[in-house]
Amino acid sequence: MRRILLIFTFLAITIASFADIFDKPAEVNLVVDNANAFRPKQSDALRAKLDSFERATTVQIQIYTTKDLQGYDIVDFAQRLGEGWGVGQAGADNGIVIVYKPKMAHEDGEITIQTGYGIEPLIPDAVCKQIIEYEMIPRFKRGQIYAGIDKAVDICMSLTRGEFTAEKYMADNAEMERIAMKIAKWVLIGLIGVPSVILVIFLIVMLCIGGFKGDTVSSGSGSSSGSHHSSSSYHRSSHRSYGGGHFGGGGARGRW
């Protein structure tokens, strides 16, 4: 009987600990780095930027890193976090949740950007996907975790401020892809063509040298002969709370 009670107690504590993750905190903390992905100065800089942005626009961007998704899919985890914490303002639903899970020995790294209802028109799913694929994952692969998340935050801020549109961002990415493909094409042509050109020039030079020496020997001795040559302290503000924003599945995910 005692063993059964201990098992039920353990299960109750475990379930409660899982539920606590999604319970709204008493105080706003827009950078929760449980995975130790950032250095202290990086966390402080990111938090200061997000707090300042919230004061200017009321938009809340929540960064959450973890090594353990508690059995949840990362998208489900981020949506539950955003909904449970109420990231964004009630009525405006202008919250953004970025959840990062590092790459570990036998697990891929994972990242997701989830947007509140009010943010979806400004940052559509396709744009979230491009931010992840073009801005974040390439940096993550180089070990630049802070840089990848900071860049994504900057783009989200610019899009919500209206500094450029989702269409403009996607068009710029398409143009960069075209330029990259052109460069790759010319590099490939160069790799194939340049050695061939060099070889042709070398053969022509050798033939000329051989012909010249043959003429010289012939004029001097009356006979011809061949010749071969080789030659690189922020303090969190208090007395603030999450606003009560809602999330409906907008966003994207990625892994590496």
Chain segment 46-95, per-residue pLDDT in tens: 999 999 999 999 999 999 999 999 999 999 999 999 999 999 999 999 99
What does pTM read for this prediction? 0.73
What is the pLDDT, as a whole number, of residue 192? 64
Ramachandran category for residue 200: left, alpha or beta (phi over 0 → left; psi -120 to 50 → alpha): alpha
Distance CA 79, CA 250 (A): 9
The neighbour count for residue 202, using CB atoms within 10 Å, is 11
Q: What is the DSSP string of 188-227?
A: HHHHHHHHHHHHHHHHHHHHHHHHHHHHHHHHHHS-----
State both tokens at 169. 């961002």
What are the structure tokens assigned to 214, written together?
Answer: 């043959």
**pLDDT one-digit tens code per residue, 164-222:** 999 999 998 888 777 777 676 666 666 665 566 566 566 666 655 554 444 433 334 34
- The CA distances from residue 54 to 61, 156, 222, in Å, are 8, 12, 94
Question: What domains appear along the chain, each with residue ranges and CATH number?
Answer: 26-172+243-255 (3.10.310.50)
Write out pLDDT tens, residues 139-159. Answer: 999 999 999 999 999 999 999
Q: Both tokens of residue 120? A: 């979806």
